[in-house]
Amino acid sequence: DGGITQSPKYLFRKEGQNVTLSCEQNLNHDAMYWYRQDPGQGLRLIYYSQIVNDFQKGDIAEGYSVSREKKESFPLTVTSAQKNPTAFYLCASLRQGVGEAFFGQGTRLTVV
């Protein structure tokens, strides 16, 4: 079945450690996104990528990094520079044109 897979579903890390969240899609979509979700804040865009080897900062990119070496994969690294990394992270992909975005099931990151 086609879709977006985020792993793991739950992730715990110690403060000061970098952590990488995985996002893979087999929908052959061009664009991929990372959003952060906090209660009452909606979805805030971290990074997005329109094509392989290219990506743009979203509204809250500080403390995060991404890569897009393959069309299917768009991993997000939460670095130690991110001041408040505990949140629910959502990955999405979108086909070129008028298509809607498809979402993964999310990764809940807790930093202790």
Partner 1 sequence: AQSVTQLGSHVSVSEGALVLLRCNYSSSVPPYLFWYVQYPNQGLQLLLKYTSAATLVKGINGFEAEFKKSETSFHLTKPSAHMSDAAEYFCAVRALNSGGSNYKLTFGKGTLLTVNP
Residues 67-106 that bind partner 1 (CB under 8 A): 88, 90, 92, 94, 97-98, 100-106
Question: Judged by CB under 8 A, which of 11, 27, 43, 52 binds partner 1?
Answer: 43
Nearer to partner 1, 38 or 62 (CB): 38
Site size toward partner 1 (CB under 8 A) is 29
Nearer to partner 1, 67 or 80 (CB): 67
8 Å CB contact between 66 and 74: yes
Q: ∠ CA 25-27-32 to the nearest 5 degrees?
A: 55
β-sheet bridge partners, residue 109:
11, 87
Tell me the per-residue interface mask from 1 to 20 with partner 1, x by CB under 8 A, - otherwise. Answer: ---x----------------
